[in-house]
Amino acid sequence: MGQRQAGVRLLTVVDGIEIVDVPLDKRSTLERILEESFEGWYLRHSKRILREVETVRAARYSGEPIGLVMLKTLEEGVGYVYYVAVAKAHRAKGVASLLLKDALRLFKAVGAVEAFASVEKDNLPSERLFAAEGFVRTNLVEVSRRHGTLRALNMYRLMVVVPGEVLLHRAID
């Protein structure tokens, strides 16, 4: 998942919704989706990650960005869904599901064998979204058992799991 330098690249089209890869210099147009999706620390952090993260994909409808997902490789074989957000007017229509399915295909294409995501404990739409794609709750003890304590701690550091969030996991087959 290296950073793409060319223009916005079209990846898939489903029911008129296009999923495109968004390079660094085009990402500021997505900030308004974050502004209506997050507040406080999360809004500031998501805007910073939008500018830095290796992969951002956007869902577009009639050329307008309506959703986005930010993706990162934590270490070889391990993908992380940093943020997913959909513009309020386009929620509950399957846009986030489409973005997440696309992200899992991308992880698989680059050789990932597992994926993580973290969500706020009381964010039901978000936890349901990930559950529908096979993600289940995990924790530091479980991740340490599979990867060893040092690697698990390093992954936690990269994922920036903060108090009040739960970590989700699924294998990619």
Interface contacts to ligand COA, rule CB under 6 A: 37, 83-86, 91-97, 119, 123-126, 128-129, 132
Q: Which is nearer to ligand COA, 86 or 106 (CB)?
A: 86
Please state the closest distance from residue 4 (CB atom) to ligand COA, in A. Answer: 22
Q: Which is nearer to ligand COA, 83 or 114 (CB)?
A: 83
Query: What stretches of 5-139 show up as alpha helix (H) in DSSP?
Result: 31-35, 40-52, 95-109, 124-132
How far is residue 170 from each of residues 16, 97, 131, measured CA to CA in Å? Answer: 29, 15, 9
Please state the closest distance from residue 154 (CB atom) to ligand COA, in A. Answer: 21
The one-character DSSP state at 2 is: P
How far is residue 70 from each of residues 36, 140, 145, 148, 149, measured CA to CA in Å? Answer: 16, 22, 27, 26, 26
Please state the closest distance from residue 97 (CB atom) to ligand COA, in A. Answer: 4
Please state the closest distance from residue 124 (CB atom) to ligand COA, in A. Answer: 5
Q: Which is nearer to ligand COA, 19 or 96 (CB)?
A: 96
What sign does the CA torsion over 54, 135, 129, 111 have? positive
Both ends of the chain: CA-CA distance in Å? 18
Q: What is the number of the residue whose Cβ is closest to ligand COA? A: 96
Q: Which is nearer to ligand COA, 13 or 132 (CB)?
A: 132
Q: Which is nearer to ligand COA, 96 or 155 (CB)?
A: 96
The residue to which tokens 């029911």 are assigned: 15
Please state the closest distance from residue 16 (CB atom) to ligand COA, in A. Answer: 15
DSSP 26-44: GGGGGHHHHHTT--HHHHH
